[in-house]
Structure 1
Amino acid sequence: RVAASSAPRAPCRCPPIPSTACKKAFDMRESVLNESDETARQFAFSTLEQLRLDQRLPEAALAQMYGTGKLCRQKRQDVVETMAEISERLGLHVQTAGLAVNIFDRFTARAWQRMTEAKLVAVVSILLAAKFLEVSAPNFNDLSALSKTTREKLRDVELDVLDELSWDLHTPTPHAFAEQLCTVVGASAPVRTRAEFLIDLSYYDHEMLEHSHMIIACSSFLLSWKQLDDHRSAAKHSQLLSQISRTPMSELIRCCDLLDKSFNAILHAQSTTDAANPCMGSHGRVSPSSVMSNFTAEMEHDQQHAHDLVNGGKHFFVPVVQ
């Protein structure tokens, strides 16, 4: 018994799988993946259509008031920058900050004649957007300290904004559209990063109030492909984006030009700041000029990642910030 149990056993050999069976399994896996991708695209299409129906009309009248000088454009830009800083300090999502800007603009369009404390309205807009989108709302004491006012004053302004807007706060932000568009067009990581950055810039420009949030999102992808030299994707998806947004290409191109102008202005401002203060950091500010340094670092990381992919035999468009 001992001798029999200690005798070496023959290795267990599984029968070889025929090459036809391997190919069939591989084709089945590819079919499942393609079907899953197509299902995700169809769901994204239906979600985009619902978001398009839910979005609000552009505040064209407000944009005209800023354009003619009836309202101060620089004051609005300063307020939006303050809102971005507060949102980052409170750790809010980017869509919350976008909704807060929308609430501020809608209230301004209706009550600009009696609005004397724009920054206080901005803080209340952040509070309302956070209550609507975040899991937990910011603390009243923190907002009171940031706005340098009392809790009672904040509550009064909050009720004033809610009454003026008839308690109707919901609207899809450009970031909500961009999230679904990434699935529809199969955007790469660098394109998505650039598009999201362009959407962030759109909040600072009063001229973007003339365009709907869906047009802004579609234009950000078109401009991202153009800036990253991915002209093939731009040509492939331009008509699709026009059909999805139900907008003529001329309006998408006009929105792209506005975004491109803002992007180049930020690049120029950042280069001027770096030349004047080569050792100065952003110190947590969320203005476009301060974000640009972090954005450029992210693009350099993507460029190195793209280089690795190219060496691995895959085609990848390298983003370059100039």
Structure 2
Amino acid sequence: MDIIKSPIKGAGSIKVFAPATVANVVCGFDVLGFAVNAPGDEVVMRITGKPGVTISKITGDNGKLPLSADKNTVSASVQHYLKHINRTDIGVDIELHKKMPIGSGLGSSSASTVAGLFAINSLLDNYLTPMELVPFAMKGEELACGYGHADNVAPAILGGFVLIRSYEPLDIIKLPVPEGLYCAIVFPDVDVPTRDARQMIRSKVLLKDAVVQWGNVAGLVSGLFMNDIDLIGRSMKDVLVEPTRSILIPDFYKMREMAMEMGAVSFGISGSGPSVFAFTRDEQTAATITQKIQQHLTGLNIASYTYVSAVNQQGPKIIG
């Protein structure tokens, strides 16, 4: 493959990491999410001499992801980006290295897509702002799960904790995070496809349940601004989505009971699951919770992966 000088920035290739994310954050279905330090995905991108976007290599996916540029979320999003800025004359080759599990509920497709968009935007001298990249990443989510939600891609691109106040028009707000807040994540290795999980959600809700949910979302956002971890914990309750989705997660309520007994501030489902997460006041408590829950799952003959992280404020980054 011939590598040529980038038409704008002058760099011919780049390697980018983009982080996993926790979406919904229990009570904030499709409107709240935050980034974590690990896991994440990596993309290597090269400017080539032939116009068009190609994917030459995918690793870590066990053959699950398509190499077709129109069907892969990374390349499809890059195609939308190049068309938008009128640079379809550019040739781009992509290597996608999956460093996080697919179908984990941790924004796997989002991390890949964001890494690709951040890479092409960096190669083209940051033509768009991070906020302006969000709609292109949402195109990738639409391809992945049928709906272009932003609660994974927005924190993956912007870093930190975000609120999607509105989708039409898109209005995204970065929220503050109390110092010392840690996240304990456990991914039970069971299959919960995002499309299927979304189809289980009720299309209509009772007004009394909606009122509870509104209050909890407002309380969570207030707790973040007020640096009030107790208020954050009281507010992270979901009466709309969790009762249905928890059915798909083995021993969900037992895991929640264990986490809370060990000092968790809150506990819930990450995205559509099966990953679960807990907020804690310190890193050691988060580590203990992940260890004990993993031991419990092992006793059920369920393999699992664990991660401990503060909220990632940086988002994607160039690593090579």
Structure number with the bigger relative contact order (C-alpha 8 A, sep ≥ 6) is: 2
Report the TM-score range of the alignment, normalised by the length of the smaller protein.
Answer: under 0.3
Query: Which of the pair is proportionally richer in helix?
Result: 1
- Higher-Rg structure is 1
Query: Which of the pair is proportionally richer in strand?
Result: 2
